[in-house]
Amino acid sequence: MIKSGMKVLMVGLKSSGVSATALLERLGAEVKIYDDDERAVLNGKQNLLGSSMEYIFEAVELVVLSPSIPKWHKIVLYAQEKNIKIISELALGLHYLDCKKIIVTGTNGKTTVVEMINTLLSYAGYTSRTMGNIGYPVCQVVVDNTPLEYAVIEASSFQLEYTKDIKTSIAVITNLSPDHMDRYEHYNDYVNAKFNIFSGQTSNDFALVNFDDSMLRARSKELTAKVIGIKSEGGKSPVHIKNNYYYIKDRALAPLRSSKVKGRFNHQNLLMALNVGHILRIDIEQMLNLIKNFKLASHRLEYVCTIQGKNYYNDSKGTNIDACKKAIDALEGHIGLIMGGSDKNEDFCTFFDKVADTVSFVCVTGSNADKIFASALKMGFLKIKKFSHLKEAILFLSQINYIDNILFSPACASFDRYSNYIERGNKFKELIYEIEV
């Protein structure tokens, strides 16, 4: 892919862009850099922000994009006009990553499935690590020359936009629902980006697809790989759920209640990982270890504590409507829900049109609080109140006698007030501990 002396333009200098630049230079490319932030610098290289397009693209043969760069960016449009090849940082890293690759995408659950698969590989004695959208750039793994038998890669739609012909023996899509509609003009554009994960597979490879989703089930017929349909109940996958038990073919493995993860969607996530294990012929004992011992990472329907009979849950990772609904479905009892944050152009009328009966009250806070509040009233949901601060919402719900669970599942991005969902979730927990004191 990269030839010595090849002139490459790297666009975007966050962690993935920095790693991609290091890899390009190691491969002998002559790298120019561009970032929309005038403060961005890298090893003394000149950021070409403000330069003419002719100067930026002089002799450039390839453009590499960080995930943050949308398709309507002027650099992308100019490169397309001049017929200059564009690839993603992920595509660059995958091309040079020398190990077996398992790639996971989806709207929700992809981080959890990646961690489950990696844990199962570890139980089985394989050398593996997680990378990609989960936090560690694939290009950096290549630069580090980390010896691995397996790479378990989380891929976002942003990373997959210019990632084609992926060579992976196992590709997983957890689910799809509208997300990032501030970046995509049509939902189908988002879906098509996600389906790039299967673009390089052959009939010898495996595609694990959520068959609870009729659209995914229909589109799976387009795939070249062997399709394994995963359903939250029943289904014909080698590892499946029947009568509240995990089964491998006709053998009962363990009851659902033996798992530490909550909710039907998390049981399905576990099925994704277990079916990967079946493909790789991992021992049943290690699969049982995964079922019984795996715990969700922080900020994913994380139980915080119980105060005066009320259970507090931190689901800050719930950054879209579908994730919020899944968190609600996983809890039993009356729920006081806290929503709101940085808007992603989702339609909250769809949420309040069929909101679960268990949602007894909703508090909204954040930059799109007015939008969510108006959507609720439009759909006839009146048990809702706006608050200027998260602490006020928590204190209000803590005083409602009939509420059993206080759930922080914003259904929005965090960037109105926080640097990421982790900072937001930690702030929620900090405020809960103040109440406890």
Domain enclosing residue 54, as ranges = 7-90
pLDDT at 437: 44
CB within 8 A of 122, min separation 6: which ones? Answer: 128
Torsion of CA 203, 206, 207, 210, to 10 degrees: 140
The CA distance from 391 to 132, in Å, is 34
Please tell me the total count of domains within the chain. Answer: 3
Instruction: Confirm whether 200 is domain-assigned.
Output: yes
Phi, psi of 315 (to 5 degrees): -120, 50
Instruction: Confirm whether 193 is domain-assigned.
Output: yes
The CA distance from 431 to 420, in Å, is 17
Instruction: Confirm whether 169 is domain-assigned.
Output: yes
pLDDT at 181: 67
123 vs 164, which has greater pLDDT? Answer: 123
Answer yes or no: do 250 and 102 share one domain: yes
Phi, psi of 386 (to 5 degrees): -95, 145
Per cent of the chain over pLDDT 90 is 81
Instruction: Confirm whether 316 is domain-assigned.
Output: yes
Question: What is the per-residue pLDDT across 68-93, written as a single tens digit (0 to 9) for each?
Answer: 999 999 999 999 999 999 999 999 99
Instruction: Confirm whether 177 is domain-assigned.
Output: yes
Answer yes or no: do 309 and 388 share one domain: yes
Point out the domain boundary residue: 90, 110, 143.
90
The secondary structure of residue 296, as a DSSP letter, is P
**Structure token digits, residue 243:** 């009568």
Read off the pLDDT of each residue in 22-51 and give the average, rounded to a whole number: 91
Q: Is the pTM of this model over 0.85?
A: no
The CA distance from 232 to 295, in Å, is 19
Q: Return the amino acid letter for 266.
A: N
Point out the domain boundary residue: 238, 270, 293.
293
Instruction: Confirm whether 1 is domain-assigned.
Output: no
pLDDT at 436: 55
CB within 8 A of 281, min separation 6: which ones? Answer: none
Question: What is the per-residue pLDDT across 309-364, written as a single tens digit (0 to 9) for each?
Answer: 899 999 999 999 989 998 999 898 999 999 999 998 889 999 999 899 999 999 99
- In this structure, are strands 310-314 and 405-408 parallel, antiparallel, or unpaired? parallel
Answer yes or no: do 85 and 103 share one domain: no
Answer yes or no: do 86 and 146 share one domain: no
Question: What is the per-residue pLDDT across 370-401, written as a single tens digit (0 to 9) for each?
Answer: 999 999 999 999 999 999 999 999 999 999 99
Answer yes or no: do 144 and 252 share one domain: yes
Domain at 62, CATH number: 3.40.50.720
Per cent of the chain over pLDDT 70 is 99
292 vs 108, which has greater pLDDT? Answer: 292
Answer yes or no: do 107 and 69 share one domain: no
